[in-house]
Amino acid sequence: MSKSELQNEIVKATEDLPESLVKEILDFAEFLLNKQSRSASDNLKSELGLLSQSQTSHLEQEFTDYKLAYPKIND
């Protein structure tokens, strides 16, 4: 089943639910998004912890003044 088909099924399944239960479904979806985000962040921290000192120094130099070198256009 495709993502859009799953989304349609979720909408159908929630149509007859009371508002309080629909809010619980939203809370659960937000929990899953936060969990996924935390997992990605933890993986990045773990990978960065494996760098050698010279690799860490090089990476820090690469990001020195990155906001000046790469300003956001649509901010």
Confirm whether 74 is domain-assigned: no
Provide the residue range defining the domain that includes 57. 3-69
Exposed/middle/buried for residue 9 (C-beta within 10 Å: 0-12, 13-18, 19+): exposed
Q: What is the pLDDT of residue 69?
A: 81
Confirm whether 38 is domain-assigned: yes
pTM beyond 0.75: no
Domain count, the chain: 1
Confirm whether 75 is domain-assigned: no
**10-58 pLDDT per residue, tens:** 999 999 999 999 999 999 999 999 888 888 888 888 888 888 989 988 9
Confirm whether 24 is domain-assigned: yes
